[in-house]
């Protein structure tokens, strides 16, 4: 496959995954029929379109690494994330929409670019995952500074305080460079209270080992929306949402996870009891404004969808 065609294929897969995730009727999230103040479904759709070029760039750099045209430490994952945040900001006015998803997707795009493909653009996921580890571990202090600048652009809520190298402290960027602290090392610090950072440093265990295989089985049953919602509930039931935890505490996040587990175990969208339980959960989450928005769970669901589309799933 020509390199440009391969990079375009990867970016299309990731853009499709974003679109499929944001249009599913997940409780407590922005959906086609539910909004937050100032943030609606069209802001997410515009963000997904704006992000596609960054996914293609990441995939092209990954391919260049595989051909020994670029050192893996020179890929610039942090810079690509920053440029993606700038593009998303330019294409919609709904505030931070997909920064967490982008932080998960850019390394996947790089790793996919590094990974040889077989017939019909097929990937060996064990090799892709090994390349994913190589890509994130090779990040630099410059990548870390760029990621901090991406956060400055996107202005996500729920950051809270950090024990060290706080993204809200302007002095942190200087320290990152002076002490040569890589983005991977920064995410190690944050991995205890942010599941996106934890995915990076632990080689995406929720995405690869739990969410993706479950979602693939669900998709084979035919109902896309139900498959995405059920995967979302499964992730949330097993992993209290760290976005919620940072805003209102771990206790509240665990309460939400218990409600999600109940809805999932009752059959989710496939039974009357499950549907009623999802509606109750949705009403409870939305009654809080944006405080109980399971945003990290949505990002992890999107990452599982990215693996599905890379594996050939098409709606």
Task: Say if residue 2's pLDDT is above 80.
Answer: no
Low-confidence winner among 6-20, 57-71, 91-105, 151-165 (lowest mean pLDDT):
151-165
Cα–chain center distance at 99: 8
pLDDT digits (tens, 9 = 90+) for 63-72: 999 999 999 9
Residue 303's pLDDT is 98
Query: pLDDT tens digits for 178-216?
Result: 999 999 999 999 999 999 999 999 999 999 999 999 999
pTM value is 0.95
Q: Decide if pLDDT at 158 tops 80.
A: no
| Of 201 and 155, the one with more pLDDT | 201
Q: What is the pLDDT of residue 161?
A: 56
Which stretches of 155-294 are DSSP H helices? Answer: 171-178, 183-190, 195-202, 205, 212-219, 224-238, 242-248, 250-265, 272-287
Whole-number Å distance between alpha carbons of 55 and 150: 15
Q: How many residues does the chain have?
A: 315
pLDDT band (50, 70, 90) for residue 101: very high
* In the predicted structure, residue 1 carries a pLDDT above the cut 60: no
Q: Is the pLDDT of residue 162 over 70?
A: no
Query: CA-CA distance, 92 to 115, in Å (whole number)?
Result: 33
pLDDT of residue 196: 97
Q: In the chain, how many H helices and how many E strands?
A: 16, 0
| The pair of three-digit structure tokens given for residue 198, joined into one six-digit string | 């934890």
Read off the pLDDT band of 118 (50, 70, 90): confident
Average pLDDT over every residue of 280-298: 92
Closest CA to 204 of 219, 217, 190, 191: 191
Q: Is the pLDDT of residue 150 over 70?
A: yes
pLDDT at 268: 97
Q: Which domains does the chain have, with CATH numbers?
A: 3-310 (1.10.4200.10)
Q: Which two tokens stand for residue 183?
A: 């983005």
Q: Is the pLDDT of residue 246 over 60?
A: yes
Query: Which residue in the block uniquely carries the two structure tokens 């499950």?
Result: 274
Asked if 67 and 77 count as a contact pair (C-beta separation under 8 A), the reply is no
Mean pLDDT in the chain? 94
The angle at the Cα of 65, spanning 63 to 66, to the nearest 5 degrees, equals: 65
pLDDT at 270 over 70: yes
187, containing H or E segment: helix 183-190
State the Cα–Cα distance between residues 256 and 286, nearest whole angstrom.
12
Composition of the chain by helix, strand, coil, percent to 5: 70, 0, 30
Residue 152 tokens read as: 């400055």
The confidence score (pLDDT) of residue 141 equals 96
């Amino acid at each position: 496959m020509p390199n440009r065609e391969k990079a375009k294929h990867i970016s299309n897969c990731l853009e499709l995954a974003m679109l499929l995730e944001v249009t599913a009727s997940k409780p407590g999230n922005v959906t086609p029929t539910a909004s937050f103040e100032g943030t609606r479904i069209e802001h997410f759709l515009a963000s997904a379109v704006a992000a596609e070029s960054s996914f293609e760039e990441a995939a092209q750099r990954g391919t260049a690494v595989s051909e020994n045209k670029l050192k893996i430490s020179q890929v610039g994952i942090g810079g690509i994330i920053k440029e993606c945040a700038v593009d998303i900001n330019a294409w919609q006015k709904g505030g931070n929409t997909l920064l967490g998803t982008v932080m998960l997707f850019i390394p996947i795009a790089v790793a996919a670019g590094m990974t040889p493909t077989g017939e019909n653009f097929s990937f060996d996921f064990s090799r892709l995952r090994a390349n994913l580890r190589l890509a994130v571990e090779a990040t630099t202090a410059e990548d870390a500074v760029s990621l901090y600048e991406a956060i400055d652009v996107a202005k996500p809520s729920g950051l809270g305080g950090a024990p060290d190298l706080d993204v809200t402290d302007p002095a942190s960027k200087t320290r990152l460079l002076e002490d040569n602290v890589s983005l991977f090392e920064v995410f190690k610090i944050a991995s205890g209270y942010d599941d996106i950072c934890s995915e990076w440093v632990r080689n995406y265990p929720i995405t690869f080992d739990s969410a993706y295989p479950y979602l693939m089985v669900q998709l084979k049953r035919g109902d896309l929306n139900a498959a995405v919602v059920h995967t979302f509930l499964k992730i949330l039931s097993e992993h209290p949402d760290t976005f919620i935890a940072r805003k209102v505490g771990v206790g509240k996040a665990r309460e939400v996870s218990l409600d999600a587990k109940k809805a999932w175990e009752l059959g989710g969208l496939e039974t009357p009891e499950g549907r009623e339980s999802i509606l109750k959960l949705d009403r409870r989450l939305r009654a809080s404004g944006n405080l109980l928005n399971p945003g990290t769970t949505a990002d992890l669901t999107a990452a599982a969808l990215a693996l599905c589309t890379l594996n050939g799933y098409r709606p």
